[in-house]
Structure 1
Amino acid sequence: MSSSDIFIGETIGTAVLILLGGGVVAGVVLKRSKAFGAGWLAITFGWGFAVLTGAYISAPLSGAHLNPAVTLGLAIEGGTEWSDVPIYVLGQMTGAVIGATLVWVAYLGHFQAHLTDREIVGGPGAQDTAKAAAQAKTDAGPVLGIFSTGPEIRNTVQNLATEIIATTVLVLAILTQGLNGDGHGLGVIGVLITSLVVVGIGLSLGGPTGYAINPARDLGPRIAHALLPLPNKGGSDWGYAWIPVVGPLIGGAIAGGIYEIAFA
């Protein structure tokens, strides 16, 4: 498996993951969408199918990590060379930004309609004060949830713990399934099972934080949100952004350690 294969596979696979995952959230959230209001079940199953599609596409090239926490867990387990880790992460981050941008393209008119709706952004005078305007530039904007995650109750310890626990479950499930012969990623059945695990995590542990469980999945689209020309988009909530990066990485490392102690 060459460095170019890893980078291309992870870029394409992660882009598809974010396109379909962010796309289902956009469909549920944006008012003019046919899927508007479909709810949490649609989002959790949509993300599961997004993992399934992205992983099957990228598996022949890179082993379909699509997640720095998975790459870290596999490196600790020994299935991935440490020298390959930066290439995986670079591909994942590149793909995440591309995927989020494609969601914006696919829903361009709906973003425009949603973010100019007075029921969403407020009528005249909604941000008259300088304090309110400054706050709007830092807090989570009305469509940030399409791009990245955020907590329902903002509690640093709880939010971090939720992401650690959920990611530990994900990565441990991956490590204990059948890997490809080269040890770099999941086999065919493992991809399907992992997709169902993602759905299960979303249903069971997704409520508190939106279950990032993937640093690239959260940080790449958050960067896209900050850069894209969305009207009245509000802030990208950078004060929270470290939690869905650090939490999953800790969870991936814990899962790798558990695997080495209990299963190796």
Structure 2
Amino acid sequence: MPLTTGQIFLSEFFGTAILILFGAGVCAAVTLPRSKAKASGWIVIAFGWGLAVFMGVYAAYATGGHLNPAVTVGLAVAGKDLAPGVSATAVNVVVYIVAQMLGGIVGAVGAWLAYKRHFDAEAPAADKLGCFSTTPGIRSYGWNVVTEAIGTFALITWVLINGKSPSQLGPLAVALVIVAIGLSLGGPTGYAINPARDLGPRIAHALLPIKGKGSSDWTYAWVPVVGPLLGAVAAGLLVPRMAGLY
């Protein structure tokens, strides 16, 4: 039976909320001063995000577990269905993206609630923002966009060709791809590679009553949106034309 618009929305909303709950949660665990996991490092963050994707993909299995507007756009540009029985119509693409963005906000609120007393404690404003959204190690907007585009191109390339591997490996494999991107390409920007992963939580940061939170850094906010979308469009246009992938 074809999915209804409401079912599509709820699937992507719930899956993305799970992704951000655990992804923002691992950032808070490693970053906030009085957390038991304080200073456990980048490897923990990379694996935490990978496992967050693993759980989110399973939660949104009915709609393909996109959890990411870049995945949705990349599949649409490539001329693929968004999920079995879900065609890449303009309406469906919009429903996916809206659900992902709202799920990102709700997931970030959940992570804030889990660490509420830690966010109330003294900590640098930049550290509190880093639990929600990305910031570059070296701020250079053009090069930051390039980094995000390359990481997202790698992700969407895997999404487009993963059907060549046994289907049972799908969620685990994409989790490991996220870990690999984080470990190899995540250093310069914190690897958003997902507009909903950055913009949704950044909106939550702006709205929540977080003590000493400082700025939400809106001057940078466009980078983790534009970079991933450029990478997704490039992958959607190029990968299907590579011989032997389909």
TM-score normalised by L of structure 2:
0.92
Counterparts of 1:93 and 1:114 in 2: how far apart (Å)? 29
Pair 1:147 & 2:132 matched:
yes
Counterpart residue number, 1:177:
162
Counterpart residue number, 1:16:
18
Counterpart residue number, 2:94:
86
For 1:170, give the aligned amino acid.
Answer: L
Counterparts of 2:68 and 2:197 in 1: how far apart (Å)? 7
Please list every run of 5 or more consecutive structure 2 residues that lacks an aligned counterpart in the other structure: 83-87
Counterparts of 1:201 and 1:10 in 2: how far apart (Å)? 22
TM-fit CA distance, 1:41? 0.5
Counterparts of 2:76 and 2:217 in 1: how far apart (Å)? 31
Q: Which moved more, 1:154-163 or 1:1-10?
A: 1-10
Partner SS state of residue 159, structure 1: helix
Q: Any residues of structure 2 matched to 1:156-235 within 5 Å, and which?
A: 156-178=141-163, 187-235=167-215
Q: 1:31 aligns with which of 23, 33, 37?
A: 33
For 2:65, give the aligned amino acid.
Answer: A
For 1:156, give the aligned amino acid.
Answer: Y
Counterparts of 1:221 and 1:113 in 2: how far apart (Å)? 20
Sequence identity (%)? 52
* Number of residue equivalences: 235
Asked whether the 8 Å contact 1:142–1:234 carries over to 2, the reply is no
Counterpart residue number, 1:74:
75
Counterparts of 1:205 and 1:2 in 2: how far apart (Å)? 37
TM-fit CA distance, 1:187? 4.2
For 1:94, give the aligned amino acid.
Answer: L
Deviations 1:150-204 (A, max 9, x none): 100011111000000000000101110129xxxxxx9442121111000000000
Asked whether the 8 Å contact 2:32–2:127 carries over to 1, the reply is no
TM-fit CA distance, 1:79? 1.9
Larger radius of gyration: 1
TM-fit CA distance, 1:63? 1.3
Asked whether the 8 Å contact 1:167–1:252 carries over to 2, the reply is yes
Instruction: Please give the root-mean-square deviation of Cα atoms over the aligned residues, in Å.
Output: 1.6
Asked whether the 8 Å contact 1:32–1:114 carries over to 2, the reply is no
Counterpart residue number, 1:64:
65
Counterparts of 1:82 and 1:189 in 2: how far apart (Å)? 28
Deviations 1:57-102 (A, max 9, x none): 111x211000000001111222231331000001100100000000
Asked whether the 8 Å contact 1:174–1:190 carries over to 2, the reply is no
TM-fit CA distance, 1:224? 0.2
